[in-house]
Amino acid sequence: MNWVNTYVDDYYKWLREKTFIQQGSTTDWFLINTPFLGAFNDTIEIYARKHGDQLTLSDNGETMANLELQGLHIQGSKKRKELLDSILLSYGLNCVNNEILVETNLENFSQSKHNFLQAIIEVNDLYVLSKNNVASIFKEDVRNYLDSQNIIYTPDFISKGATGLEFNFDFQIAQKSKEIVIKSFNTVNKQNLSTFLFSWEDIKPVREKSTKKDVRAIAIINDSEKRVKSEFLDALKSKSASYILWSERDTRANKDLLVA
């Protein structure tokens, strides 16, 4: 077992140990306190309620309220509203009176909670749009770059892995004998890199068996303002996942990586 496997295993243990559950004293809602950080470096909380064989998950309106506190007013911009709706649609969620929620079958609890948490993290990242010096989020920059290279892709690609969970990748490029899944990272850290490596490792054998194609993964990382630590790049290499640093996107070698 190499060091990356050890850290991924530690990540699973950390997830379970840092997840706390509380039941309301006067309600049938349960509070799930996750270890993931929200807008103000507080932990993200998910509220869950069972009614029959149905499940409701909610953020109790906290995600949208936090964006408002940071000066990002979604309703005041058509573009911001479209970005929010796109994220929620990707994960099958709704926003009703500024409350993000989903209703589904109880048997889908694991996948639904997984999707819900991913969506909240992505919506939290919309706060960067409140800064005047930011024209677009990095994912949109990557999309524009792929368009400029005349690369045909599927955005918001979802694939099921060996664990049965579904994972969302920003883009998928497919040709006759090869397939590439792409995740864009405006910033990369141990948390989101471990999640990416796990999702890549989980879907790869399933995709290759079902499509009979060579399936590859590419992380496109924004290094415009911050140097990317070599240990993160080494971790990608160890899992046979490629990477493109944004500052080096126009090199011939990196352009060749995007040709499926």
Query: Mean pLDDT, to the nearest integer, of 44-49?
Result: 95
Please tell me whether residues 125 and 142 are part of one structural domain.
Answer: no
Asked if residue 157 is part of any domain, the answer here is: yes
| Predicted pLDDT at 132 | 40
- The CATH number that applies at residue 208 is 3.40.1350.10
- Looking at the fold, whether 145 and 245 belong to one and the same domain comes out as yes
Range of weakest confidence among 20-29, 45-54, 69-78, 149-158 = 69-78
pLDDT tens for each residue of 172-200:
999 888 999 999 998 888 888 988 999 98
State whether 120 and 143 are in the same domain: no
Residue 11 resides in a domain:
no
| Boundary of a domain, candidates 85, 102, 130 | 130
CATH code of the domain containing 88: 3.30.1460
Q: How far is CA 203 from CA 58, 208, 243, 245, 250, in A?
A: 28, 8, 18, 23, 28
pLDDT at residue 57 is higher than 90: yes
Residue 113 predicted with pLDDT over 90? yes
**Cα 166 to Cα 159: distance, rounded to the nearest angstrom:** 5
Angstrom distance (rounded) from CA 38 to CA 45: 9
Of 63, 97, 130, the last residue of a domain is 130
The verdict on 119 and 178 lying in the same domain is: no
pLDDT value of position 76: 65
As a whole number of angstroms, the distance between CA 256 and CA 240 comes to 16
Q: Do 174 and 121 have their domain in common?
A: no
Q: Which residues pair with 182 in a beta bridge?
A: 171, 218
218: in domain: yes
In contact, 36 and 117? CB cutoff 8 Å: yes
Which of these ranges, 59-63, 105-109, 138-142, has the smallest mean pLDDT? 138-142
Calculate the average pLDDT of the chain. 88
What pLDDT sits at residue 213? 92
The answer on pLDDT for 102 being more than 90 is yes
Q: Which long-range contacts (CB under 8 A, 24 or more apart) does 135-140 make?
A: 137/83, 137/186, 138/184, 138/185, 138/186, 138/222, 138/246, 139/170, 139/184, 139/186
State whether 246 and 146 are in the same domain.
yes
Q: Is 17 left (phi over 0), alpha (psi -120 to 50) or beta?
A: alpha
Question: DSSP per residue over 115-177, as a string?
Answer: HHHHHHHHHHGGGGGGSTT--S-HHHHHHHHHHHTT---EEEEEEE-TTS-EEEEEEEEE-SS
Residues 125 and 145 in one domain: no
Find the range with the poorest average confidence among 36-45, 121-130, 133-142, 181-190.
Answer: 133-142
**Together in a domain, 103 and 145:** no
Say how many domains are in the chain: 2
Listed range (13-17, 43-47, 89-93, 147-151) with the worst mean pLDDT? 13-17
Do 169 and 97 fall within a single domain? Answer: no
For residue 78, pLDDT over 80 is answered with no
**pLDDT (0 to 100) of residue 80:** 79
Among residues 130, 161, 181, the one where a domain terminates is 130
Q: Does residue 3 form part of some domain?
A: no
Tell me what pLDDT residue 129 has.
60
239-257 pLDDT, tens digit each: 889 999 999 999 999 999 9
Query: Does residue 225 form part of some domain?
Result: yes
Q: How confident is the model at residue 30 (pLDDT cuts 50, 70, 90)?
A: very high
Q: What is the pLDDT of residue 128?
A: 63
What confidence score (pLDDT) does residue 50 get?
93
pLDDT, position 137: 66
Structural domain span for residue 167: 138-257
